[in-house]
Structure 1
Amino acid sequence: MNLERRMRDWVIFFLLIRLQQQPLEKLLMLLQQILLSL
């Protein structure tokens, strides 16, 4: 088992759950902040 791949799967899973709980506008704002901080 590849640990890195497994971690990524968990992150995606977590993000999908968060996405269902939050409005899309909030998520887009968060994504924008992440991209700006890179």
Structure 2
Amino acid sequence: MQVKKNSPAQSKFMRDFNNKFMELGWVYRNQASRWA
């Protein structure tokens, strides 16, 4: 199974997008996750 690699621009967009949702309190980091 190969891992999909995003372009640097896509990676930055996704990181910024997720960070904005975290700032708004709409999502949170799951510290109990066994996958991360």
Q: TM-score, normalised by structure 1?
A: 0.51
Structure 1: which 5+ runs fail to align?
A: none
Structure 1 stretches of 4+ with a deviation exceeding 6 A read none
Structure 2: which 5+ runs fail to align?
A: 1-5
**Percent sequence identity over aligned pairs:** 4
User: Higher relative contact order at CA 8 Å, sep ≥6: structure 1 or structure 2?
Assistant: 1
Superposition CA RMSD, Å: 3.1
The offset of 1:28, in angstroms, is 2.7
Q: Between Structure 1 and Structure 2, which shows a larger proportion of helix residues?
A: 1
Q: How many residue pairs were aligned?
A: 31
